[in-house]
Amino acid sequence: MIRLALVLIFAAGSLMAQEAQPEAPTTEPPMTYERLGKILFALDPDAQPRGPGFELTVSDVPVLVITDANADRMRAMVPIRSAAELSQDDLQRMMQANFDSALDARYAIANGTLWAAFIHPLSPLEKDQLISGLAQTVNIAKTYGTLYSGGATQFGGGDSGNLQRALIDELLKKGEEI
C-alpha cells in the first residue's frame, strides 16, 4: 500500500514538473508584410501586392489578404455573394458552421457582401497557420450552400472531407521550402 502511494506521489510530482516546464520557443520569426508576401508568392507566383495586402488565387479562387501592421492584424478574404438576399435559414446555417465546421475561417458580412474570412494577429502568425487558414477560407467559400466546411476536420465517411483536406495538404507542401 505504501509502495503504491509512493508511486502515485512520484507520478503526480513528475506530471506537475512537466506541466511547469515552459513551452519551447518558436523558431519562426515574427510574421511581417514582407514575410507574408514571400509565403503568398510561393503559393501563387502570380500574386499581386495591393497596398497593405495582396491578391492571389488559391485553387482557382481569388483571395484578398490585407495586413495592418499598426493593429498587428491580418485578414484573408474571399467574396462569396451579395448579402442582400440571404435568408434566415442561410444565416443560421452559417452561424452553425462558424461554431463547428468552418474551423479557423468564418463567414462574415461587410459592405453588403458575404465573405469567407480568416482573421489572425499578424506577428504571431506562423507559416503553417497562414497556409491552413487560407485553405480553410477557400474551402468554406467553395462549400457555401452545401457542406459549409473548412475541410481540415469533418465527421463522416464520405469523399468530401478527403477532397477538401487535399487543398490544405497541397498548400502546406508548397510552403515547406520557405
pLDDT, tens digit (0-9, with 9 covering 90-100), for 21-32:
556 555 899 999
pLDDT tens for residues 43-60?
999 999 999 999 999 999
Q: How large a percentage of the chain has pLDDT more than 90?
A: 60
Phi, psi angles (nearest 5°) of residue 173: -65, -40
The neighbouring-strand residues paired with 73 are: 68, 121
Alpha carbon of 78 to those of 23, 28, 133, 143, 145: distances in Å? 35, 27, 12, 12, 15
Q: Which pLDDT does position 156 carry in this prediction?
A: 44
Q: Where are the domains of the chain?
A: 30-175
Residue whose C-alpha cell reads 465546421 in the numeric block? 101
Q: Does the pTM of the predicted model rise above 0.85?
A: no
CB 42 within 8 Å of CB 54: no
Residue whose C-alpha cell reads 507566383 in the numeric block? 45
Is the pLDDT at 157 greater than 70? The verdict is no
Task: Tell me the Ramachandran region of residue 58: left when phi exceeds 0, alpha when psi lies from -120 to 50, beta otherwise.
Answer: beta
DSSP state of 2: H
Alpha carbon of 60 to those of 80, 104, 123: distances in Å? 13, 21, 28
Alpha carbon of 113 to those of 62, 81, 141: distances in Å? 15, 6, 12
93 CB-near residues (< 8 Å, 6+ apart): 148
CB 169 within 8 Å of CB 135: no
Locate all alpha helices (DSSP H) within the chain, ordered by sequence: 2-20, 33-43, 88-100, 127-142, 160-175
pLDDT tens for residues 59-104?
999 999 999 999 999 999 999 999 999 999 999 899 988 888 888 9
What class does CATH assign to 30-175?
A: alpha beta
Mean pLDDT of 118-126: 98
